[in-house]
Amino acid sequence: MDVYKITGENRLKGTIKVSGAKNSAVALIPASILANSPVTIGGIPEISDAWTLKALLEEIGGEVTFEDGKMTIDPTDMIALPLPNGNVKKLRASYYLMGAMLGRFKKAVIGLPGGCFLGPRPIDQHIKGFEALGARITNEHGAIYLRADELIGAKIYLDVASVGATINIMLAAVLAKGRTVIENAAKEPEIIDVATLLTNMGANIKGAGTSVIRIDGVEELHGTEHTIIPDRIEAATFMIMAAAVGEGITIDNVIPLHLEAIIAKLREMGVKIDIGEESIFVPKTDLNTLQAVDVKTLVYPGFPTDIQQPLAVLMSQVFGSSKVTDTIYTARFKHIDELRRMNANARVEGNTAIITGPSKLHGSTVTATDLRAGAALVLAGLLAEGETEIQEIYHIERGYSSLIEKLRDLGADIRRETNVARVAEAKE
């Protein structure tokens, strides 16, 4: 029922700090199930997905504390309780519980995961991997049942380089007997982060971040301490925001190597970017000097699908027609209709969006249809004349930690309000 209200056209200035990576956190937290003693993970973003996972680990008997971005998980007394409904339906990454619980208990019952609807995102590659390790998988009453007498290392070739499948197979394989080889593995930084945690817990993993990962199973894993990597998607969102409405913004706590594709594309548009060791500075950008570009989303290290939506807002401000082709998620263009409500000149043809600028954006009432579409609408609201109201903000808060506070510190006029009319409607 809560909404964001943004009064646009304020220029933003200062330093904004990037939180820990959402896509790492949602895998690192379930990975703790595999340990035989407490695991502490620092730098976890205070997002709803992290709180949901905390609740799920508590449901199966874990003792979990979470404060100031530090989560400590004691998995000692966990048991293989079925999780067919409830919290498990709230986030896509609940599927990591499958690999972790299968690895530790040799069985699991997990409800089919939820999260943002971006078109079909099947888990067939995950299941193929589990079956190769010796698990029997069935789908009963909308939940996935996983059972194994024992898990034995295998050679697994992924038909698509899926991040989720790569991590899930790693989680299941670290305690399996013998060697597992994952070929055509995804290479995202989050996979290296999960492999680093597992290695610190005593796992034997080689090749994370390359297309071939080798895992030699071990008898047991122990607790450890780990700090999560910075969120490259959040960093990229802030870089685009700095180009669109900044008077000079420093984005702090970044790994520039993880942002190469985005930096290259922004520079191609004409945005100036100064790269430090762990920070990026974007000086004031004259939007009149920027030019249209074409973007095609690809798996890492290509241009991330998560960033094409915020980038579309910047594209609406530059002269000429830009094209975005999304090869990852074909349904990831729901933000285009919302941007059109704000006077953007944009259309979708198949898996390509065509955005023609420059357009003066006007404040409007719009809906966040998914996490990154929501980020795009926040950016559009900051640019637009007048007031923008964004509904369904729970999507945004699944992935961006303390967003309002961070933006207000830069000078943005953004607040969270309860939509009284919608509360009344719901009561009726």
> If you count DSSP H runs as helices and E runs as strands, how many of each does the chain have, helices first?
14, 23
Q: What proportion of the chain, given as a percentage, has pLDDT over 90? A: 89
List the catalytic residues: 116
Residue 44 has pLDDT above 90, yes or no: yes
d(CA 235, CA 15): 12
pLDDT tier, 420 (very low <50, low <70, confident <90, very high otherwise):
confident
pLDDT tier, 18 (very low <50, low <70, confident <90, very high otherwise):
very high
d(CA 403, CA 234): 10
Relative orientation angle of helices 334-341 and 371-383, to the nearest 10 degrees: 20
The predicted pLDDT at position 114 comes to 62
Regarding beta strands 179-183 and 204-206, do their DSSP bridges make them parallel or antiparallel, or are they unpaired? unpaired
Chain mean position to CA 177: 32
Regarding beta strands 107-111 and 279-282, do their DSSP bridges make them parallel or antiparallel, or are they unpaired? unpaired
Q: Which two tokens stand for residue 104?
A: 């530790």
103 close to 176: Cβ distance less than 8 angstroms: yes
The predicted pLDDT at position 119 comes to 55
Angle at 29 between CA 230 and CA 69, to 5 degrees: 50
Task: Return binding residues for UDP-N-acetyl-alpha-D-glucosamine.
Answer: 92, 121-125, 306, 328
Exposed / middle / buried, residue 394 (Cβ in 10 Å: 0-12, 13-18, 19+): middle
Q: 111-115, 331-335, 351-355: which has the minimum mean pLDDT? A: 111-115
Residue 75 has pLDDT above 80, yes or no: yes
Residue 407 has pLDDT above 80, yes or no: yes
pLDDT tier, 330 (very low <50, low <70, confident <90, very high otherwise):
confident
Task: Return binding residues for phosphoenolpyruvate.
Answer: 22-23
DSSP string, 352-415: EEEEEE----B--EEE--SHHHHHHHHHHHHHSBSEEEEE-THHHHTT-TTHHHHHHHTT-EEE
d(CA 160, CA 183): 10
pLDDT tens profile 116-174: 555 555 789 999 999 999 999 998 888 899 999 999 999 999 999 999 999 999 999 99
pLDDT tens profile 355-404: 999 999 999 999 999 999 999 999 999 999 999 999 999 999 999 999 99
What's the predicted TM-score (pTM) here? 0.94
Residue 206 pairs in a beta bridge with 214
Q: How many CB atoms lie within 10 A of CB 354?
A: 18
The predicted pLDDT at position 146 comes to 96
| One-letter amino acid of 54 | K
Task: Return binding residues.
Answer: 22-23, 92, 121-125, 306, 328
pLDDT tens profile 297-325: 999 999 999 999 999 999 999 999 999 99
